[in-house]
Amino acid sequence: MYTVTVVNAVGGDIWPQIQTNTTKFDSEIFFQASNGFYISLINIVDGGTFTPATNLPVSAPDIATNIQISATFTTNSTDGSISNNVPEEWMQKMHGIYTTNYVAAATNDYDLDGYSTADEFLMSSDPTDSNDFLRISSLTLDGSGNPIVKWITDYDDDFQLPPFRIDVTTNISASGSWASDQHLNKNRYRRAVYKHNHIG
């Protein structure tokens, strides 16, 4: 028999707290960062360190022993070298982009849809789904002839972004002629497609 115990740290949870298994079967430990934190390191005492993950299989040691698991949950931060300052927690917790190089993760286009992770953060779309990106869903007129523009985007209450703005111009070649159109009905639709903290 062998026993796997976990040490919970501030900023997240590790479970199950304790497992007792025969030396013929592996164990599995799960990790979840709390809001405001991300998993930066997983550690097996006297067994090495591992990159962030949602679960860690523990191989049966073939002997009677005690295996202790811990993890470091780091306070969420943004990287100043990323122009859009994509939160590391958002990349890791919401989309499973587990990495130790968040600068590269923010500039990468995981789903090959032409938008980087930083772009998708600003669009509130899923950087791992090539069919999910900000786009106009309809353009109609109201009873007074004013245009109504609607778009579909995901929304996350943990990472509230400023409302989208629609600018208009009567001279597309004049860069200084763009201005916010106060007559447009700016609607934001919400879609529940993520597993965590999204509402429909």
pLDDT tens sequence across 36-74: 788 888 999 888 898 888 889 999 998 999 999 999 988
Domains held by the chain: number: 2
Q: At which of 56, 75, 94 does a domain end? A: 75
Q: At which of 75, 102, 124 does a domain end? A: 75
In a domain, 116, yes or no: no
Quote the pTM value.
Answer: 0.56
Phi-psi region of 107 (alpha: psi -120 to 50; beta: other; left: phi over 0): alpha
Q: 192 φ, ψ to 5°? A: -95, 100
In a domain, 26, yes or no: yes
Q: At which of 59, 75, 91 does a domain end? A: 75
Query: pLDDT (tens digit, 0 to 9) for every residue of the chain, 200 residues total?
Result: 999 999 977 888 999 999 999 989 999 999 988 877 888 889 998 888 988 888 899 999 989 999 999 999 888 766 545 555 788 878 877 677 777 777 888 888 999 999 998 888 888 888 888 988 888 888 888 888 877 777 776 656 666 666 666 777 888 888 778 877 665 544 443 332 222 222 22
Host domain of residue 179 = 135-189
Query: If residue 49 lies in a helix (H) or strand (E), which one and from where to where?
Result: strand 48-50
In a domain, 129, yes or no: no
Map tokens 């130790």 to a residue: 100
